[in-house]
Amino acid sequence: MAERQKILASIENDFPQWYQDILEKAQLADNGPVRGTMVMRPYSYAMWEGMQSAMDARIKATGAENVYLPLFIPQSYLEREAEHVEGFSPELAVVTHAGGKELTEPVVVRPTSETLFGEVMAKWIQSHRDLPMLLNQWANVVRWEMRPRVFLRTTEFLWQEGHTAHATREDAANYARRIHLDVYKDFLENVLAIPVLPGFKTASERFAGAINTMTCEAMMGDGKALQMATSHELGQNFANAFGITFSDTDGAAQTAWTTSWGSSTRMMGGLIMSHGDDAGLVLPPRIAPHQVVVIVVKDDERTIEAARTIVADLTAAGVRAKLDDRTQTGFGRRATEWELKGVPVRVEVGPRDLDAEQITFARRDQGGKQQLPLAEVATRLPALLDEIQADMFAAAQKRLDERTKHVSTIEEAREAAQTGFAVIDWAVLGEAGEKELNKDAITVRCLQTRDGNMPDPHNPETDLVAIVARAY
């Protein structure tokens, strides 16, 4: 353990420094040359590609199609929806000069694209037959952060943002809810192995211009909350501002109801902080760039060839396997490197193991070493990866359960939020209590039903509980 602490700060004693050490030592990201920007290194970008692929498939399964809209937005577009521009005003990056000349109208580098989608939807939608219009884009956005932290809050970040238009409020609400549960919650829990609490944001925490915001909140290793994804019912606010209208079945003009929803590279930070330990990253198999790394212990032809065969057999079995035959680098150093990078299973291949017709392997989530017959590697490791995925989710759920406390007073909520989540009746807390907790940097992360579900958007229940916590 002493050796590991030289590599990383203690996760228990200095969580912020541990996080920064992980970014550097696991070769995930660097700071960019402009304050608040980041450089994603190949290993973290491979994780993002995995997230993008899994999310994109789920999004398309709901009927949405991918598009791409411009990076620059005329400033006048944002000003059409007053609440929206007011909500983003401090974070906007505005271009006033280009091509050596002052622009006749300043343009904003997109902080989000509601206004652009509003403009194109008004042009593309004419009839009820054009609805629902379900669009998504993968893009970068810029929000000028005052207190940046790589992956969690950066001036520029990567994300997906969905935008839809519907004939009725009910259809819009149903679709936003479907995205939130069938796409976001399903992905976060079944791919990233992070249990989340789905719920509504309070009025003070809603997205600028929305009539309802849904969120997936997760508990990090230090007990703080992280907002992992959000979905918004925008009502008719943007439709009115941009003239998104359609003719109904009787030929009468109607105003559309719109939604927007997004998730970002913030999920990378959540992945790190949800599962990491004092030895580094711990990656769920379904998102790990390399699910199994096969390490050659000794530089001899027989061992190298056996390791290559194992990698080929695992690959044929659908496992993302990587060969590490860098025998010019010491075995211990290489093993520590892959442990730091969180590879779910490490397989060691050496002459003695081959003589015994076996391999030695280690699970990253549990530690320790075990042996496995060489002939069974390709058949048993895929099942082991599924077991690791399930065990990691169970461990994260256990932490969430153990560090969530049901309380009955505002003072008890304040105390519980120092180490985890507090659950308190919304009728007891209310907007006044929410403001009181805000003074201590404690926020209502979401409102839920008493059984832990998301309220019904068509008939929000009054008997709700508030999830209260400190947050990133």
Tens digits of per-residue pLDDT, 134-173? 999 999 999 998 889 999 999 999 999 999 999 999 999 9
What tokens were used for 68?
A: 């791409």
Predicted local confidence at residue 82, as pLDDT: 73
Question: Residue 347 and residue 293: Cα distance in Å, rounded?
Answer: 6
List pLDDT tens digits, range 277-293: 999 999 999 999 999 99
- Identify whether residues 212 and 268 lie together within a single domain: yes
List pLDDT tens digits, range 339-374: 999 999 999 999 999 999 999 999 999 989 999 999
- Identify whether residues 164 and 33 lie together within a single domain: yes
List pLDDT tens digits, range 188-197: 999 999 999 9
**39-48 CB contacts, 8 Å cutoff, 24+ apart:** 40/158, 40/265, 43/289, 43/341, 44/268, 46/289, 47/268, 47/271, 47/283, 47/287, 47/288, 47/289, 48/158, 48/265, 48/268
Predicted local confidence at residue 1, as pLDDT: 37
Question: Residue 152 and residue 155: Cα distance in Å, rounded?
Answer: 10
**Is pLDDT at 184 greater than 50 in this prediction?**
yes
Domain presence at residue 390: no
List pLDDT tens digits, range 216-274: 999 999 999 999 999 999 999 999 999 999 999 999 999 999 999 999 999 999 999 99
List pLDDT tens digits, range 49-73: 999 999 999 999 999 999 999 999 9
- Identify whether residues 208 and 340 lie together within a single domain: no
- Identify whether residues 197 and 257 lie together within a single domain: yes
Distances (CA, A) of 25 to 18, 321, 323: 10, 22, 21
**Is pLDDT at 78 greater than 50 in this prediction?**
yes
- Identify whether residues 114 and 179 lie together within a single domain: yes
The structural domain count of the chain equals: 3
Predicted local confidence at residue 388, as pLDDT: 98
Domain presence at residue 12: yes
Question: Residue 8 and residue 277: Cα distance in Å, rounded?
Answer: 10
Query: Which CATH number characterizes residue 456's domain?
Result: 3.30.110
* Mean per-residue pLDDT over the chain, rounded: 95
- Identify whether residues 330 and 241 lie together within a single domain: no
Question: Residue 361 and residue 193: Cα distance in Å, rounded?
Answer: 22
- Identify whether residues 265 and 321 lie together within a single domain: no
Over residues 25-48, the mean pLDDT reads 97
What tokens were used for 156?
A: 């520029």
pTM, full prediction = 0.95
Identify whether the C-beta of residue 343 lies closer than 8 Å to the C-beta of residue 292: yes
- Higher-scoring residue by pLDDT: 420, 79: 420
> Quick one: what percent of the chain has pLDDT higher than 70?
98
Q: Which of 275, 304, 331 is the last residue of a domain?
A: 275
Give the contacts of 180 (CB within 8 A, at least 6 positions apart): 198, 214, 216, 229, 231, 261, 454
Over residues 388-417, the mean pLDDT reads 98
Question: Residue 39 and residue 37: Cα distance in Å, rounded?
Answer: 7
Query: Which CATH number characterizes residue 361's domain?
Result: 3.40.50.800
Collapsed DSSP state (helix, strand, coil) of residue 425: strand
- Identify whether residues 255 and 141 lie together within a single domain: yes
